[in-house]
Amino acid sequence: MRILSGIQPSGKLHIGNYFGMMKQAVELQKKGEAFLFIADFHSLTTNPDAADLRERVTEVAVDFLACGLDTDKVCFFRQSDVPQVCELTWMLNNVCPVGLLQRAHSYKDKVAKGFEPNNGLFSYPVLMASDILLYQSDLVPVGKDQKQHIEITRDLAIKFNERYGDVFTVPDCFIPESVAVIPGLDGQKMSKSYNNTIPIFGKEKAIRKIVMSIVTDSKGLDDPKDPDTCNVVTLYKLFASEEQVNEMKERYRAGGYGYGHAKQALFEAMQDYFAPMRKRREELLANMDYVHEILRKGAARAGAEAEKTMDKVRKAVGIR
């Protein structure tokens, strides 16, 4: 089974990214052949500064590796190191109805927010379909927000196969219900675009300050509180054992336990959870040659797979 996922190098990794995508990918690497990449072509849709983009690619590479990728098993690479993905995008563009892209939620949301879309943003799902189909992926672990993009990918694979013969594997997405959407500081979906994220890596003091800013209701220390509607408890569940969560819930109901106490418990549980990854990250930062070497090897392996698919695609459409 081939498992593939990607992440844009567009800011600091947050716990939504980790539980929504990375953790799934890291766990699935044991179950099949995993391909993971840094989607730098996708990032160009927002016209980032060149130096910033370069720096963020390296940063996300280190962070992703620190989260537990087994580099003997996983093919980890930078999207732009395999330019065949752009060639395939063009092929898929020609079986992609415009209406399919006009209905894409993530595109419509950005337009509704007043963002003036470029054609790259509009055809973002076609490039994403290319990422997935180029490597003949079976399973794509992503957060719930990406589900429609995977459905578009399936549509394009089916349309292409119907028109040109059986070229592509039709992929499925993998979204465990328990981690489908991780809430942010304000209770909405955690996202860089909403400025409500809790980063995984960073200075302890800064992370504590962020955790302390999670929005709650205004009940006082002595008041009994409802654990089932509180965002702090929802996040605590990601890091604590069932027993610890039940204990926190009891304290909420009993009163005399403030939101500050709960946030401190969350902060400590989070620090413990990510401690081994922080350590690994420091080691990687001290050995960047190793990180670049992993990406180089990944690009070579991914490139060979991409050529196999493109050979079939070119023949199927009548180019070469």
For residue 182, the minimal CB distance to ligand ADP (Å) is 4
Reading the block at residue 49, the tokens are 């500064």
**Contact predicate 91/79, CB 8 Å:** no
Closest residue to ligand ADP, based on beta-carbon distance: 20
Amino acid identity, position 120 = G
H, E, C per residue of the chain: CEEEEEECCCCCCEHHHHHHHHHHHHHHCCCCEEEEEECHHHHHHHCCCHHHHHHHHHHHHHHHHHCCCCCCCCEEEEHHHCCHHHHHHHHHHCCCCHHHHHCCHHHHHHHHCCCCCCHHHHCHHHHHHHHHHHCCCCEEECCHHHHHHHHHHHHHHHHHHHHHCCCCCCCEEECCHHHCCCECCCCCECCHHHCCCCECCCCHHHHHHHHHCCCCCCCCCCCCCCHHHCHHHHHHHHHCCHHHHHHHHHHHHHCCCCHHHHHHHHHHHHHHHHHHHHHHHHHHHCCHHHHHHHHHHHHHHHHHHHHHHHHHHHHHHCCC
Strand order in the sheet with 75-78: 75-78, 33-38, 2-7, 139-141, 172-174
Among 146, 196, 197, 309, binds ligand TRP (CB under 6 A): 146
Closer residue to ligand TRP, CB minimum distance, 14 or 263:
14
Among 39, 198, 207, 291, binds ligand TRP (CB under 6 A): 39
Tell me: does residue 251 bind ligand ADP (CB under 6 A). Answer: no
Closer residue to ligand ADP, CB minimum distance, 192 or 312:
192
Active site (annotated) includes residue 189: yes
- Partner interacting with residue 6 (select from ligand TRP, ligand ADP, none; CB below 5-8 Å by kind): ligand TRP
Nearest to 184 by CA among 154, 215, 206: 215
Tell me: does residue 193 bind ligand ADP (CB under 6 A). Answer: yes
Tell me: does residue 225 bind ligand TRP (CB under 6 A). Answer: no
- Which one from 144, 147, 159, 192 is the annotated catalytic residue? 192
- Partner interacting with residue 128 (select from ligand ADP, ligand TRP, none; CB below 5-8 Å by kind): ligand TRP
Active site (annotated) includes residue 110: yes
Tell me: does residue 142 bind ligand ADP (CB under 6 A). Answer: yes
Tell me: does residue 17 bind ligand ADP (CB under 6 A). Answer: yes
**Contact predicate 50/6, CB 8 Å:** no
Tell me: does residue 67 bind ligand TRP (CB under 6 A). Answer: no
Q: Which stretch binds ligand TRP (CB under 6 A): 69-77, 108-116, 139-147, 239-247?
A: 139-147
Tell me: does residue 142 bind ligand TRP (CB under 6 A). Answer: yes
Amino acid identity, position 87 = E
For residue 41, the minimal CB distance to ligand TRP (Å) is 9
**Contact predicate 89/123, CB 8 Å:** yes
Tell me: does residue 189 bind ligand ADP (CB under 6 A). Answer: yes
Among 3, 21, 69, 207, binds ligand ADP (CB under 6 A): 21
Among 12, 154, 192, 261, binds ligand ADP (CB under 6 A): 192
Site size for ligand ADP (CB under 6 A): 18
Tell me: does residue 9 bind ligand TRP (CB under 6 A). Answer: no
For residue 141, the minimal CB distance to ligand TRP (Å) is 8
Active site (annotated) includes residue 237: no
Residues near ligand ADP, by CB under 6 A: 7-8, 10, 16-17, 20-21, 142-143, 145-146, 181-182, 189-193
**Active-site amino acid positions:** 110, 189, 192
Q: Which residues bind ligand TRP (CB under 6 A)?
A: 4-8, 39, 42, 128, 131-132, 140, 142, 146, 149
